[in-house]
Amino acid sequence: MRNEQQAEFVRRLEREEHSERWSYASASMVNPAAHYVDPDWFREEQGALFREQPLFVGLSAECVKPGSFLTRELGGIPIAVVRQRDGFLKAFVNACRHRGATLLSGDRDKGVRRIVCPYHSWTYDTDGTLLDRPNSNGAFDDVGRDCNLLQRAVREKHGLIYVHPTSLEPFDVDDQLHGMQGEFDQYGIETAHHIETRVTTWDMNWKLLMDTFLEGYHVQYVHQKTIDPVFFPYQFYDAFGPLPRVIGLRRSVMAQMAESPPDDWRLFPHASAVYVLIPNGLLMYQGDHIETWRVEPIDVNTTRVYTSIFSPEPPVSEKSLGYWRKNFEVLCNVAMNEDFPVQVAIHKNLQSGAIGEVIYGRIEPALIHFHQTVNTAVLDRRAARQST
């Protein structure tokens, strides 16, 4: 985000009335509780949102060296992304063509030279080409089909990696970002250094996890002893097509406004910017580092979460590494000890059937925008199916 744009945000804080300042929605929204707990609705979401479009899988910083790889589940489909010797990426279904065994596990930033199936040692090059079927003694010579790994479309731009889980058709990352990328130029995403990723699993619908980050209204109540003294309880909200972006302001911005001329006002380090990469990702810029949250719905009631932190440059000492790890602990503690337990309880309450709906108020515009986007995708898919 350019300096002049940052200054404009702070001026927006100064001049607007309260209801406009905090980007109130034009109207509240009522959403059926079934959209969080109904298996049929979940299956529709998987099809419309997680299988039929490119999805965010991580930052380039997570897959740097030739042979390094990421493994993901996108709409239930196992995907591996591997950095090639020429520096480009390839993505393929992470399953052996022999009997479907999983080939790669986790993420690895040290290069592999070959991909070897753990079941029968079928061996593939890192581009997915079958190299060897050891000790098979010609038993597969009559198989009249290509046994290379099944490729999927992958694109890398602005330091972000996207994969289409069901297609090889080319796509442009910019089309997925809807203009959001215009704010990325000073964040250092393309040169960021991966510090750590934590993987956790939660007994809640994937949308409840996303809801956590889409309104600041709860901060003054859930986070009284942690971040409430630091942040205002509301957020700036703007939309980039179907994607919302929210900016949380630290209270320190008021001192900057009192002490500096307007042209010198800056959002950072007095703010955090959260970019919602619908359906499955959050990219956060915190002023001195980047965070990502990436969700993998396991079923309607269970979600796997990948939380990562990235520094602007590689740590040069144990002290600097400790600084970033401490930041990461604070991040995880606030979300996982304060936010997520509330959402788990909400999920159980919605599962009970006693609550037929939830309400998103005008004070929660990004929440409204997110759920409108999800609902529209599902309903459009249903309508398209019924018309054929």
Contacts of 173 (CB under 8 A, 6+ apart): 54, 155, 156, 157, 158, 160, 162, 181
Inter-residue contact 307 to 291 (CB < 8 Å):
yes
In a domain, 180, yes or no: no
Contacts of 322 (CB under 8 A, 6+ apart): none
d(CA 28, CA 262): 34
In a domain, 5, yes or no: yes
Return the SS3 of 268. Answer: coil
For the stretch 270-296, pLDDT in tens is 889 999 999 999 999 998 899 999 999
Count of C-beta atoms within a 10 Å radius of residue 194: 21
CATH of the domain at 229: 3.90.380.10
369 and 331 in a common domain? yes
How much is the pLDDT for 271? Answer: 85
How much is the pLDDT for 209? Answer: 97
Segment holding 340, helix H or strand E: helix 340-351
388 and 357 in a common domain? yes
How much is the pLDDT for 14? Answer: 66
How much is the pLDDT for 22? Answer: 62
d(CA 89, CA 80): 10
How much is the pLDDT for 261? Answer: 85
pLDDT in tens, the chain (388 residues): 777 777 777 777 766 544 455 678 999 999 999 999 999 999 999 999 999 999 999 999 999 999 999 999 999 999 999 999 999 999 999 999 999 999 999 888 777 899 999 999 999 999 999 999 999 999 999 998 899 999 999 999 999 999 999 999 999 999 999 999 999 988 999 999 999 999 999 999 999 999 999 999 999 999 999 988 888 777 889 999 999 999 988 888 888 878 888 888 887 888 899 999 999 999 999 988 999 999 999 999 999 999 999 999 999 999 999 999 999 999 999 999 999 999 999 999 999 999 999 999 999 999 999 999 999 999 999 999 888 7
What range defines the domain where residue 62 resides? 55-170
d(CA 187, CA 173): 17
The domain boundary, picked from 107, 138, 170, lies at 170
Q: Are strands 130-132 and 115-116 parallel, antiparallel or unpaired?
A: unpaired
Please tell me the total count of domains within the chain: 2
d(CA 295, CA 374): 15
From residue 141, give the alpha-carbon distance in Å to each of 129, 130, 137, 383.
Answer: 16, 13, 9, 46
0.85 exceeded by the pTM?
yes
d(CA 103, CA 118): 7
In a domain, 179, yes or no: no
In a domain, 208, yes or no: yes
Angle subtended at Cα 83 by Cα 90 and Cα 153, rounded to the nearest 5 degrees: 20
145 and 77 in a common domain? yes
